[in-house]
């Protein structure tokens, strides 16, 4: 089990070398290929390269009414008052809900005997030749690599939210 320091270390040492060219699609599911490069602990010039896919479900708009129902899931009666207030005063509030599925079965990994920066350069060239606009390259931490991947997904959601909201507004959904 990780300590809070381990999470913080992973968050601080995650670098998205190449982000996907596109944001999360507003009206469909989106699949991103990731390559995550991390140095093995206690080994010089040994790097683990993980490849896999992240599947983002289409974002949904939550109105205050629907949000209050989600908010109350697992809460007692004391939360009902806040949910009622939210429904009464939140006519202009809209929330986006993003869902990700991370399938470990899609992940492959290999150990490479080379300096990490050299491996990252090779992976960038590989992505250039693959011409996959949905591919991402992440420099991360080996033990907490899933934290690195989650940090990437949160940043992708933040980047996509504005575009998704603008598209919903143009189409009159909000």
Strand ranges inside 4-134, DSSP E: 15-18, 30-39, 46-56, 60-62, 95-97, 100-102, 108-113
Supply the pTM of this predicted model. 0.73
Between the two ends of the chain, the Cα-to-Cα distance in Å is 42
Token pair recorded at residue 18:
């190449």
Under 8 Å between Cβ of 116 and 139: yes
Q: What is the per-residue pLDDT for 73? A: 52
Q: How many Cα neighbours within 13 Å face the side chain of 19?
A: 17
Q: What is the per-residue pLDDT for 34? A: 93
pLDDT of 80-139, one tens digit each? 665 666 566 655 555 566 555 545 557 899 999 999 999 999 999 999 898 888 899 999
pLDDT of 5-62, one tens digit each? 777 888 899 999 998 888 777 677 778 889 999 999 888 899 999 999 888 777 666 5
Q: What is the per-residue pLDDT for 51? A: 93
Q: What is the per-residue pLDDT for 125? A: 94
Q: What is the per-residue pLDDT for 45? A: 93
3/79 Cα distance (integer angstroms): 31
């Amino acid at each position: 089990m990780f300590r809070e320091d381990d999470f913080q270390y992973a968050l601080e040492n995650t670098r998205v070398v190449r982000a996907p060219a596109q944001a999360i699609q507003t009206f469909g599911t989106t699949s991103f290929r990731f390559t995550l490069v991390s140095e093995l602990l206690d080994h010089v010039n040994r790097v683990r390269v993980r490849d896999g896919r992240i599947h983002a479900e289409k974002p949904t708009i939550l109105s205050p009414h629907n949000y209050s129902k989600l908010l109350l899931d697992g809460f007692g009666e004391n939360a009902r008052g806040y949910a009622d207030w939210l429904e009464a005063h939140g006519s202009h509030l809209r929330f986006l809900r993003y869902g990700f599925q991370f399938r470990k079965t899609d992940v492959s990994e290999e150990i490479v005997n080379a300096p990490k920066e050299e491996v990252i350069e090779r992976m960038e060239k590989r992505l250039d030749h693959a011409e996959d606009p949905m591919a991402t390259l992440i420099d991360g931490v080996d033990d907490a690599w899933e934290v690195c991947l989650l940090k990437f997904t949160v940043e992708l959601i933040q980047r996509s939210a504005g575009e998704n909201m603008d598209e919903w507004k143009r189409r009159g959904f909000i």
